[in-house]
Amino acid sequence: MIDLHTHTVFSDGVLIPAELVRRAEVCDYTIIGIADHVDASNIDFVIPRLVKVSKALNRVNRIRTIPCAELTHIPPSQISGLADEARALGARVVIVHGETIAEPVAPGTNKAALSAGIDILAHPGLITEQEVQMASEVGICIEITARKGHSLTNGHVARLSKKAGAKLILSSDAHAPEDLISDEWGKRVVLGAGLSVDDFKEMQKNALLLAQQAHPFNE
């Protein structure tokens, strides 16, 4: 399993990074991205620590760890600037917390994210056809999520994304060890969204490509 969207105690997860990564390794993950929630208050604290622990773990572990960031509940006008700051601080994959129907995310977040050069738009809720087309044109991955609440719109997201030819990616959005998913559970999530096992395989390829582009493993 390649999963680029998980959380630790550096935001609202329950595990420190080393334990999360170890548990993921036991669950047969090959690559994990730690994407703790950040905004202007903590971005300069969280990302350097994820970079530090990822480098340390990659020296000794079979599983590869990528320092990521999830820009969360950011005012739309500030997303682009914080995305740039996240990359400058060392985040190798930048995610934006999209307009899930489970939370009061500011309207316009999806569109602003897709204009900001990010990598993944997470749980985008009732995303519009125009926004999905934007994602397709710029090559940003749209997330199919295993996270309860956020997953309620997976079918809508999948249908529009397939129609527009947008790239999809599967993530656990894990906050606790029981949230980590196996390949088999991931396939069930994908099938539940009205997609196929071949789509699951394509999502894993998209995740691998992002991971390979990150190049953090041997630093």
Q: Taking residues 71-80, what's their average pLDDT?
A: 98
Distance, CA of 133 to CA of 211 (rounded, Å): 24
Cα distances (angstroms) measured from residue 218 to each of 53, 113, 207? 13, 30, 19
The SS3 of residue 26 is helix
Sequence-distant (≥ 6) Cβ neighbours of residue 164 within 8 angstroms: 129, 132, 133, 135, 136
Q: Taking residues 145-160, what's their average pLDDT?
A: 98
Q: Which domains are present in the chain?
A: 2-214 (3.20.20.140)
The tens digit of pLDDT for each residue in 156-194 reads 999 999 999 999 999 999 999 999 999 999 999 999 999
CB atoms closer than 10 angstroms to residue 9: 13
* Token pair listed for 4: 């680029």
Of the pLDDT bands very low, low, confident and very high (cuts 50, 70, 90), residue 219 is low
Q: Taking residues 127-146, what's their average pLDDT?
A: 98
Place of tokens 């041997």: 218
* Token pair listed for 124: 């985008």
Of the pLDDT bands very low, low, confident and very high (cuts 50, 70, 90), residue 214 is confident
Please, what is the Cα angle at 213 between 206 and 132, to 5 degrees?
A: 40
pLDDT > 90: what percent of the chain?
97
Q: Taking residues 189-212, what's their average pLDDT?
A: 97
Of the pLDDT bands very low, low, confident and very high (cuts 50, 70, 90), residue 218 is low
